[in-house]
Each structure stands twice: as structure tokens, then as C-alpha cells.
Amino acid sequence: MDGSPVRRLALTSATEGDLRARLCARDEQALVELIELTTPWLLGLVQGMLDDADEAEDVVAETFRAVWDTIDPAGPTGLVPLVFRIARNKAIDRLRRRKRQRNLATLWRAEADTVTAPAAGHGGWQIHGQVRHALEGLPEDQRTVIRLAYFSGLTQSEIAQQLGLPLGTVKTRLRLAYGRLRRALAPLRGWFE
Amino acid sequence: MKAHQWFVEHREDFVVGTLERQELSAFRDHLERCPECREAIGEIERDLRWLPLGAAPVTVPPGMVRRLANGVLDRPRRNPWTWLVPAALAASTVGAAWYGLDQRRRATVLGRELAEVRAGLLERDGRLAAVLDTLGSIRTANRVLQAQLAIAGRRATMVVFETDRTQQWTVIVNGLPPAPAGERYGLWFLCEKGMRQGAALAGTSGTAVLVVAKPTDLGAVLAASVTLESERMVDGMPMAKREIGLIKM
């Protein structure tokens, strides 16, 4: 790493392809650019799940180590989604290990922060806008279970317990929400093709 | 609902990671055997891959980018002598290649035969996967219930394996004769807040297996009634039905 200043990148399909190729060629500056591009979003996601800034940084660090060690030119398309998936899986592993039950107040506070935090200026904010639009298009009861399931990392039975609902109701709401989200996010499918 | 249906209905839950530990383990086992579910999981992952960007970004503290990069790049380098092992392996591979040229033709024939065997195994795997799913449900059952069914002077047996984790009944029916013309068998849940049909049962002289989801929105299930009922429906209910067996909880 040469210590040169980091360029502010936009998240575009071309940026993704370029970063992947340079990472495969072991370009250390490309790693710095990937970190610069994705860390604001990774921290937002993982802190929301773990409710612990230090632990979130550990997860993000593990994620970049995993990406650097396993990046493959023939791997699946979508470098940034891959980074998110690795980070989220690692956060879920930690949640399941510690089995910490956060109280509902904490979860709602995280949701409120999510709604009001400014996203513009970060690479990827346009995609963020589309995803937010898809989430806001969900009926409130479905949006609540999706937030707890996806952005807080709770299992279905934990959600049922938190909301005081039968497990079957939680399953039904999640299933309906997944269907709506998949349809709403379908336009983003072609982003890489 | 067949055992495979449970996995179909929980594909998104698997991708999102909301399954319980035991369910997750069962799902991973199932994925190894089920190409259809593997493909569907890939589709869901593609559909939802930008969902993480629904979380709001956080301002990165000063110095963190550099710290993260150093954490990746400044790890101890590999021992320089470790190249000896791959080099030795590479050398032995090159040597073997010289002697292996005449083996290539034989390998091609073997490869073709192997592909045929693999295709046959894949087909059998599909059938085996369904059996294993059912056996898995039976193995993890929390309660076993049994009932005798009486129909047209014949006796049939029904055994129910109830699994709390999945809220499912795996039902095994033995000796139920084919239903008379215009009629069918039905399984009805009798709950605190009402009654709901669980499944239609096929009459067979052999053994039938089916998986039924327990209702979760009508209060506790008090009993289940097995009926012989008319295929004609009025307002969503059979025109006539009579009970041939009762399973008490």
C-alpha cells in the first residue's frame, strides 16, 4: 500500500468490474477503494444487527480479509453484494453465538435512525434510494417483520416473541413481504448483466 | 403438503437467515440433494442482493479505512519455504503427465461411463431426498398420535408424527381403501376457535405419507377428525361428510 489518497468512487457496474479485476491482480489500492466505497454501508448494516460499534468493525475487517483471500475472477457477478453477503452472514453467526436478546426499544431506535440518516454523497446512494422505496412500499406490518428479520438479524421465533405474535403470523407476513420485495427490486436484477 | 413443500416455503427464510439452527441444518442437508431448491435459492439471492443497501450508511470514523486495509495487507507473510511443497507436487504432476498420455483415451471412456452413472444417481437422489425429508420429520417428532379408521367394514391405521419446530404433522395412513365414487377422505383440525381442513387423503391399499401444516391462528388444536366427504363443495365446505376416525390431542 503506497499511502496515496483515496479516490471517492461512485457505485456503478463499471466500478465493480474494475475493482474486481484489480483485486484479482492483487492491487492494494483497489482494496482501499473497495473499503472506502462499501464501509459506510457495511457499518450501517452490521451495527444495526449487532448494536455494538467495536464488534461491527471486527466483522467488517473479517469481511475484507475474506474478500481479499478468496476473490476469484470467475466468481459470481456482483462484488459489492458479495461483500454484503459475507458481512451479513458473519454478523448473523455472531448474533446466534451470543444469543443476545435485544429489547424492542433498541430495535425501534435503530429503525428510526435508518429512516432519517442522510445517504446522499455515499457511493451507492441511488441504489439505496430504490431499496428504501421498495421497503417503504410494504404495508407496515410486513415492513416491521422484514426490519427485524433482515436488518436486526432476528430469527422467526425471536420476532414472534418480540412482537407477541403467533409464529405462523410472522411466517405469513415475511412470506408476503419477500414476494413484494422481490417484485419491487426486480429492476435492479439487470444491474450487472 | 409434501415434505419438499416445507423447503419450498422456507427458501427466502434460508437466504435471509431467519431459520432456527436445526432448521438451517436440515435445509443445508436438503440443498445438497435438491438441485431445484439450489437453483431457486440462487434466484432469490439475485433478487435480494441489493437489500442490504436498505440500511442507512454510517459515517466512517477517521482512520478506519486505513486500519481496515492494514488489517488485510499487513498480516504475516507466508513462510518462504512453503513454496517447496507446491513445487514438489508440481514436479511430480509433470512427471506423471509424461507417463499418462496413453491413459487419456481410457480416461475419456471412463468419463463417459461416469457421466451416465452420475445421471442415474441424480435421478435416484431426487427420490431418496423425498424419503429422507420424511424420515427426518419422523425422527425429530415431539409427539406420536395414532388412530384406527373404520370404513366399509375395513380397518385402517393412521399414525401422526407431530414436530413442534415446523408446526407440521407427518401423517402415515395404512390400509385405507379407495374412496367411493364422488367422495374423498379429509383430515380436519378441530381447534379452540374453529375448524380447518388440513388435507385431502388418497385411499390406497398400501401406505400413504403426507405432511400437513398445523393451523396456528385458530388457537390450540384439540383434535383431528378423519372424514369421508362429498367432493361437491358448497361455500368452500363439502356438501356432506361423516367421521370415520378421531385423533385426540
ipTM for the predicted complex: 0.85
**Which residues of chain B lie closer than 8 angstroms to A65, CB-CB?**
71-72, 75
| pLDDT given for residue B88 in this prediction | 65
Q: B164 or A122: whose pLDDT is higher?
A: B164
Q: Residue B198 gets which letter from DSSP?
A: E
Q: Please, what CATH class does the domain formed by B143-248 belong to?
A: mainly beta
Is any Cβ of chain B less than 8 angstroms from the Cβ of A104?
no
The answer, for B63 touching chain A at a CB cutoff of 8 Å, is no
Q: Does domain A9-100 have CATH number 1.20.120.1750?
A: no
Evaluate whether B221 touches B232 at the Cβ level (below 8 Å).
no
Chain B positions touching A70 (Cβ under 8 A) are: none
Q: Are B199 and B212 in contact (CB under 8 A)?
A: yes
Q: Which of A64-78, A174-188, B69-83 has the lowest mean pLDDT?
A: B69-83
Could you say which of B16, B68, B216 has the minimum Cβ distance to residue A166?
A: B216
> Does B57 sit within 8 Å of A125, measured CB to CB?
yes
What lies within 8 Å, CB to CB, of B232 at 6+ separation is B182, B238, B239
CA distance B36 to chain A (A): 19
A48 close to A38: Cβ distance less than 8 angstroms: no
Which residues of chain B fall below pLDDT 70?
1-2, 75-105, 123, 126-127, 130, 202-206
Query: Is the domain covering A103-186 a CATH 1.10.1370.40 domain?
Result: no
Closest-approach residue (CA) in chain B for A26: B73
Confidence of residue A6 (pLDDT cuts 50, 70, 90): very low
If one compares A111 and B161, the residue with the highest pLDDT of the two is: B161
Contact list in A for residue B49 (CB cut-off 8 A) is 78, 81, 84-85, 188
Q: Give the residue-averaged pLDDT of A162-174.
A: 93
What is the residue-averaged pLDDT of chain A?
Answer: 81
Domain ranges of chain B: 1-50+100-140, 143-248
A97 CA to chain B: closest CA distance, Å?
A: 11
With CB atoms and an 8 Å threshold, state whether A156 touches B12.
Answer: no
Residue B218 makes CB contacts below 8 A (sequence gap 6+) with B189, B191, B192, B193, B194, B196
- Predicted confidence at residue A110, as pLDDT, reads 47
What pLDDT score was predicted for residue A177?
96
CA distance A36 to A148: 27
Residues of chain A with CATH 1.10.10.10: 103-186
Chain B residues near residue A39 by CB distance under 8 angstroms: 60, 64-65, 68
Kindly state whether B86 is in contact with chain A, defined as any CB-CB distance less than 8 angstroms: no
**Higher pLDDT among residues B212 and A145, named by residue:** A145
CB B50 within 8 A of CB A135: no
What pLDDT does B91 receive?
65
Query: Is the CB of residue B101 less than 8 Å away from at least one CB of chain A?
Result: no
Question: Hey, is the C-beta of B77 within 8 angstroms of any chain A C-beta?
Answer: no
Chain B nearest CA to A131, separation (Å) = 5
Instruction: Compare A84 and B105 and report the one with higher pLDDT.
Output: A84
Task: Give the SS3 label for residue A166.
Answer: coil
B-contacting residues of A 105-164, CB under 8 Å? 113-119, 122, 124-125, 127-128, 130-132, 134-135, 149-151, 153-157, 159
Of A9 and B24, the structure prediction assigns the larger pLDDT to B24
For residue B185, give the amino acid letter.
Y
| Local confidence band at A108 (pLDDT 50, 70, 90 cut-offs) | very low
Cβ–Cβ contact A92 with B under 8 A: yes
How many C-beta neighbours within 10 Å does residue B208 have? Answer: 16
- pLDDT for A185 equals 92
pTM of structure: 0.57
Q: Which three cell numbers stand for residue B31?
A: 440443498
pLDDT at site A31: 92
Looking at chain A, the domain(s) classified CATH 1.10.1740.10 span: 9-100
> Are B50 and A28 within 8 A, CB to CB?
no
In the chain, the amino acid numbered A187 is P
Q: Please report the pLDDT score of residue B98 as a whole number.
A: 59
CB contact (8 A) between residue B216 and residue A1: no
pLDDT at A2: 40
Q: Does A182 touch chain B (CB under 8 A)?
A: yes
| Position A109 confidence tier, pLDDT thresholds 50, 70, 90 | very low
Q: Does A165 touch chain B (CB under 8 A)?
A: no
Cβ pair A150:B51 closer than 8 A: yes
